[in-house]
Amino acid sequence: MESKQRAAGVLVRLPDPAASRSWLCSNLFFSASDGLLRSGDCVLYLERGGGLPLPKPQAGSYYAGLAHLALAAQDINAALAHCTARGLTLQTDGGKAFYNPGVFGGGEFYFNILTPSGAVIEVAQRAVQPLACPHAPIEGLDHLGVPCADFDAECRTLEKHGFAPLFAPVHNRSDTEGRILCTMLSNGRLTLEVYQFLDLCALPMPKSAVLCALRSDFSGRTPSGLTFITEGSGLNEAV
């Protein structure tokens, strides 16, 4: 069994880790132990570093790499009510959750939280068989968002390292972002939402991004720039 120190999770670099730790525990039900933050099976490693809000990409483009963290909700309306009552800065569909059709078969409801650190935290509920949240309205990892420049290459690389697709690729369309190709892959500990905006141009994720790497049992980098690190590896290694 993996030790707590080596648990699969997200490396987060922030100017003020203590303030972010307090915010996450106060608003999103995380608990701090052994130097980690935990919400169910979601594990965060907070370190002091750059962690600046991302500049808006130029028109017609998007950033590829680790873009967002999605926490699970069993009832998206209860989760949204909690976040609204806390006065959090939210991205919603006119006060309601967005709907992403096709993913996990029946689609997924979601909204975004814009955190003070600049990280985007999504809250998501699968329309069919929502993940259980026994202790709080928002609990555990639903997925990690990984926009990419080459959907097939990204999926092939992840599959080589033990990630398996949870459903066939879904083709969606947005009025603002055009055609979107999406799937989810999981290795049993981390679930990754891999997607490509087919009508936009991918740009490298800025090095100042708050979400900077995933801690796992292998080290390397995917074509999108998603970086995996082990206990002793660095951020500059390549798959």
Q: Where are the domains of the chain?
A: 4-229
* Tens of pLDDT, residues 162-190: 999 999 999 999 888 999 999 999 999 99
Exposed, middle or buried: residue 46 (CB in 10 Å: 0-12, 13-18, 19+)? buried
Distance separating alpha carbons of residues 202 and 214, to the nearest angstrom: 21
Residue with the larger pLDDT of the pair 175 and 92: 92
Residue with the larger pLDDT of the pair 110 and 48: 110
Examine the pLDDT at 72 and tell me if it is beyond 90: yes
Q: What is the DSSP string of 74-114?
A: SSHHHHHHHHHHTT--EE-BTTB-EEETTTTTT-EEEEEEE
Phi, psi dihedrals of residue 156, rounded to the nearest 5°: -60, -45
Distance separating alpha carbons of residues 164 and 180, to the nearest angstrom: 20
Distance separating alpha carbons of residues 3 and 13, to the nearest angstrom: 22
- From its phi and psi, is residue 207 left (phi > 0), alpha (psi between -120 and 50) or beta? alpha
pLDDT of residue 231: 73
pLDDT of residue 237: 47
The dihedral sign for the CA sequence 53, 131, 148, 156: positive
Q: Are strands 227-229 and 98-100 parallel, antiparallel or unpaired?
A: unpaired
Token readout for 69 is 């963290």
* Tens of pLDDT, residues 95-139: 999 999 999 999 999 999 999 988 889 999 999 999 999 999 999
Class of domain 4-229: alpha beta
Distance separating alpha carbons of residues 140 and 142, to the nearest angstrom: 7
